[in-house]
Chains A and B, each alone.
Chain A
Amino acid sequence: MITFSFDGKSYTAREGDTLAAALLRNGVGLVGRSFKYHRPRGIMTAGVEEPNALVTIGEGGRTEPNTRATDVFVYEGLVAKSQNRWPNLSFDVGSVLGLAAPALSAGFYYKTFFGSAKKWMFYEYFIRKAAGLGNAPTQTDPDRFSQRAAFCDLLVIGAGPAGMQAAVEAAEVGKRVILVEQDNILAPSLLRDPQAQDAAWIKATAERIRAAGGRILTRTTASGYWEHDLVTLTQRIAEPGQIPPHNVAQCLWHVRAGHVILATGSIERPMAFAHNDRPGVMLSQAVRTYVQRFGVVPGKRAVIATNNDDAYKTAQALKDAGAHIVAIIDARPAPAGAGSGFRVYNNAVPLSTKGARHCLKSVTALVDDKTVSWDADLMAVSGGFTPVVHLHMQAGGTLDWNEHAQAFVPAASRQNVTTIGGAADPQAIFKMVPVSSPKKSFIDFQNDVTLADVDLAWAEGYRSVEHLKRYTTLGMATDQGKLSNMAALGRLAEKQGVAIPEAGLTTFRPPYTPVTMGLIAGAGAKDAGAHIRRLALYDLHAAKNPIWQPLGYWFRPRAYPTGGETLAQAALREAKAVRNNVGMTDVSTLAKFEISGPDAAAFLEIICATTVSKLAVGRGRYTFMLREDGVVFDDGTVWRLDENRYLLTSSTGGADRMATHISYVRQVLCPQMRVSAVNVQEHYAGIAVAGPKAKSVLATLIGEEPPRHMSTVPASIAGVPVIILAASYSGERAFEIYVDASQAEAVWAACETQVNEVGGALYGLEAMEFLRIEKGHLVVGGEVDGRMTPHDLALDKMLNKAGGYVGASGLARPALAETRRRQLVGLEAIEGDIPEGAMLVTQEGASPVGHVSAAAFRIIEGGSVALGQLTDGFARHGEELIATSPTRGQKARVRVVVPHFYDAAGERYRD
């Protein structure tokens, strides 16, 4: 026996029990409270369509609200709680809302809670208190959710007899087969209704499928059918709230199937009559399932209401289990049911029930226009069968109306999908129309929607079934109308005076059953969705305990504080080291491309908007790249390493975009060129050494005179081959050292030793930002923001006059030469510190004429400076503006200046 608890009380269950079966076994009839009226509700079904018995399972981060008691298998220690009640399930204060039911009909919210948004915030508090489902857990889920792909020739959804037979036949002719069953056993319907295929057949067939290489997944629901026969499967590895093996609670399968067979069966329909929602009113097949599969008899005196033959099996099962069948109310005329051995009332339909909170007491029916009542503690209802066509419809299929079954069945398929079994050919039923009072005749149990609500929506002009759904909330929440839609369609058709197929259909959308958010997030649920990119030198940085900064997917050191420094203090110290002495930093994340071949220069002159072909071997230059519309999208440097070999660097953040652009130019624009363009971003780790002493540090490291500014040489540091590029982003004499990343640690260590030797320091991104802003260098994503042309950034003098580069034509558009464009400017604070991101205005209250893209403090002299974009900025040098950030409550008076605050002549680069 297994011990579990419900609302704090301990119970026992048998191995294989669902929570619903276990509660019924323990005589628990009241399981939940309804969404709106807080009506007492019991267990109605034995499957995923259960609308009433919604419970919260588990504790802490494993809490799963709104779980159907019929869809969780009891395990030792399971903790379940009822929902939407206070102070307890039996005595629920919210049930007074039932008294106000006449006022809470369809559209109640829309008619009552209007006014300003502020008022809605007030209403919402009380509405959420009064109505709702379970509460979302507040703690982090400790478990993992995995996602995986799978491919097969045949995917069979539903492991009933038909599905298993289809799977074994395909597997044994060599097809790759996946068989999926949402229950925890195969062919569960055979336990409810024993047939020729018995347990031995199930076992043997499963073994044959596996022996032929087929895969069988139980506790797995096909939750969505997407384009190109992609089907998502939700696999429960652990039950809700259960500690899973190896921490993985669920797996989301993405299955690409050559063909899909849907053997999904059908769902039994309830009937609409007054008080049809009481505990003790259940679907007929569900009753049979509890009796035959679980050995639980839900009542001793049963009334059966039906319009088909199937319910007679339930009567027989109950009788065999010792229950008394008080009456069978059959909507069909005689001789239906004759010879069954039960007391059958033909031409009979249920009218209402009576009962207490926990149980049913009597059933009343209309028999040949006369009212008849019986004492009963169980009512098994069968209003027909609705084929499970959800996946067929998600796959783009169409439906036909089956008059005999009064149901929609799959028609044309637009993907490689076939429906078989009960889902394709449901049982015939007798068409019946509700005769009971519509006010308490529930059709959507989960949302407390009655026939009267449908009537009201119709009376208020809602004609479309889609409008009706939204107005009444019918077909929403966890069951998505699995039990209610046909009843609503029937009522709507009746009102319209048309046949049901003409009344319309709502859309079948994934998921078929609720899917947890954790499963959709998958492995990324715990770390923001993707892996973090680690620097080749990550361990060396980590040992210094830096402040890390996310940069795209990368994490880079922002600063290396020592002795309790703040970020600002550390960054300023590091920046001063670069200005006064020497600093070194990791620039490995820069984009890098090696371009080789006789046409390499010509290729680069299409990528870059500057000239390249005139570069001598061993020389480099600054460059930038344009989109086809003439707007700058990245910048970097290009170096001629050898006669036909170049190295192109560009920004970290734009690396992937640049790789795509280069691939596009290579494969689409220049397929004829004799050139190879290889992304070597990660092949080379990069170390920048910058400052007045950088040259002497490097000379010591490489044992020779370092290259002059914008020159490159191959060299060796610590015995490791490196490429030295003499380039500066900081404004000081500086070098970038590129080395095979697998050997970078030795080079970094040698550089750090030498830098320390002369009193230098490591510096991070924050100091780098101070340095480049002071120097007036651009950053992609800041000054280069996808709107600026070379002219706007004062780069136009560097354009390749011969043209031919990507963006040359776009740049010639007249609009780009007009006035009133934003242009790059420098800003000096006159009063106050310049807030980054601030708007630039001419006076308080005026419209913005630009914005601050980056702000910093002068490293040596102090004082706030910034780079910004200003309308007609080049012509406004000397003008005073206000930089204001209302969201931060900060502002400063600024003067517009040229965007170079440090060594404008570039003398510090040169020896």
Chain B
Amino acid sequence: MTKLSISMLPAAPLHAFEIWGNPAAVGKRFKAACGFALPALGRSDGTAALRLIRFEPTVWLVEGDASPLASILSDDGAVTAIGGGIVRIRLSGNNWRTVLMEGGVFDAESPTFAAGCSAATIIDHVNVRLHVVDETTCDAYVPLSFSQGLLHFWTQAADALAG
């Protein structure tokens, strides 16, 4: 079994992409401009340059170059920078699902929580957003102020599991 590696990813631009009207039209414009459809709730889609993860009914987390999004939205939504307040923590290895159950309430061990899935949940009292990158990698989007504490918490949990 691969030992779990837990690390903070470098700071990156993150945005909240919110639609308040004409979702079908926005979706059509988005697909035409970006080449993929807006992902459904609890799912992600995108490319290396631009990835969208839908955590809320009308809000997507945008990772990467958000510059084309404002014009796609026009008057039907807004893009807001939020990256300064979010730290991305990557959990790599076979045990990431088990570690995420520590202090959690979400079923990260479910086989249906597979690559491309996302979830917004609470782990050890902290609001966390999860995105399954692949079967051995999950990215957690953690509030900056809690990131050190949660990193410590997960590292301790991973050490205990490794035993």
Partner-B contacts on A (CB < 8 A): 144, 146-151, 245-248, 254, 256, 522-524, 529-536, 553-554, 594, 596-598, 673-676, 678, 680-685, 739-744
Contacts and interface: CB of A to CB of B under 8 A. Distances in A.
A534 B152 CA distance: 13
B163 interface: yes
B125 A594 contact: no
Given A246-B159, A597-B20, A741-B85, A676 B102 contact: no
Contacts of A149: 101, 104-107
Nearest to B126: A531
Contacts of B147: 534
Interface stretch (B34-42, B47-55, B74-82): B74-82
Contacts of B66: none
B149 A675 contact: no
A682 B143 contact: yes
Contact of A680 (B80, B102, B110): B80
Contacts of B160: 146, 245-248
A531 B150 contact: yes
B32 interface: no
A676 B80 contact: yes
A740 B83 contact: yes
Interface of B: 11, 16, 18, 20-21, 75-78, 80-86, 101-107, 109-110, 124-126, 143-150, 153, 156-157, 159-160, 162-163
Nearest to B80: A678
Contact of A682 (B76, B80, B85, B163): B85
B16 A682 contact: no
B124 A680 contact: no
Nearest to B99: A148
A553 B143 CA distance: 13
B129 to A, nearest CB: 13
- Closest CB pairs A-B (n = 3): A682-B85, A531-B149, A533-B145
A741 B144 contact: yes
Which of B11, B81, B102, B144 has its CB near the most chain A CB atoms (within 10 A)?
Answer: B144
B75 A554 contact: no
Contact of B144 (A254, A531, A536, A675): A536
A23 B147 CA distance: 50
B125 A531 contact: yes
Given A147-B102, A149-B106, A533-B146, A676 B78 contact: yes
13 contacts: A246-B163, A529-B125, A531-B125, A531-B150, A533-B146, A534-B149, A536-B145, A597-B78, A674-B20, A681-B85, A682-B84, A683-B85, A740-B81
B145 A674 contact: no
Contact of B103 (A147, A554, A598, A678): A147
A535 B146 CA distance: 9
Contacts of A522: 103
Nearest to B107: A151
A524 B126 CA distance: 13
B22 to A, nearest CB: 10
A585 B153 CA distance: 30
Given A246-B162, A680-B85, 12 more contacts: A146-B157, A147-B103, A148-B101, A151-B110, A246-B163, A247-B156, A534-B148, A536-B84, A536-B144, A674-B76, A676-B78, A683-B81
Contacts of A256: 107
B85 A678 contact: no
Contacts of A741: 84-85, 144
Which of A247, A740, A744 has its CB near the most chain B CB atoms (within 10 A)?
Answer: A740
A855 B21 CA distance: 50
Nearest to A589: B145
Given A246-B159, A742-B11, A594 B80 contact: yes
Contact of A675 (B20, B104, B153, B163): B20
B83 to A, nearest CB: 7
A256 B110 CA distance: 12
A738 to B, nearest CB: 10
A534 B126 CA distance: 13
A523 B153 contact: yes
B61 to A, nearest CB: 11
A151 B163 contact: no
B144 A532 contact: no
Contacts of B162: 246
A685 B148 CA distance: 17
Contact of B156 (A144, A598, A673): A144
A598 B75 contact: yes
A254 B105 contact: yes
Contacts of A740: 81, 83-84
A598 B109 CA distance: 43
Contacts of A254: 105
Contacts of A531: 124-126, 146, 149-150, 153
A247 B125 CA distance: 22
Contact of A523 (B18, B85, B103): B103
A150 B109 CA distance: 8
A676 B20 contact: yes
A175 to B, nearest CB: 12
Contacts of B78: 596-597, 676, 678
A529 to B, nearest CB: 8
Contacts of B83: 683, 740, 742
B2 to A, nearest CB: 18
A741 B82 CA distance: 10
A297 B109 CA distance: 46
Contacts of B156: 144, 247
B80 to A, nearest CB: 4
A139 to B, nearest CB: 21
Contact of B125 (A151, A245, A530, A675): A530
B159 to A, nearest CB: 6
Contacts of B143: 533, 682
B32 to A, nearest CB: 22
A673 B153 CA distance: 41
Nearest to B121: A149
Contacts of A739: 84
A876 to B, nearest CB: 43
A642 to B, nearest CB: 11
Given A536-B144, A597-B78, A674-B20, A742 B125 contact: no
B148 to A, nearest CB: 5
Which of B11, B107, B160 has its CB near the most chain A CB atoms (within 10 A)?
Answer: B160
A536 B145 CA distance: 7
A554 B101 contact: no
Contacts of B75: 598, 674
Contacts of B80: 594, 596, 676, 678, 680
B84 A673 contact: no
A682 B86 contact: yes
A151 B109 CA distance: 8
B124 to A, nearest CB: 6
Contacts of B20: 597, 673-676
A535 B162 CA distance: 31
Which of A524, A683, A684 has its CB near the most chain B CB atoms (within 10 A)?
Answer: A683
Nearest to B82: A683
Contacts of A248: 160
Nearest to B157: A146
B124 A685 contact: no
Which of B84, B109, B148, B153 has its CB near the most chain A CB atoms (within 10 A)?
Answer: B84
Contact of B84 (A245, A554, A678, A683): A683
Contacts of A682: 84-86, 143-145
A602 to B, nearest CB: 13
Contacts of A524: 125
Given A150-B109, A676-B78, A682-B85, A523 B124 contact: yes
A674 B84 contact: no
B86 to A, nearest CB: 7
A523 B159 CA distance: 14
B9 to A, nearest CB: 12
B34 to A, nearest CB: 20
A254 B150 CA distance: 20
B146 to A, nearest CB: 5
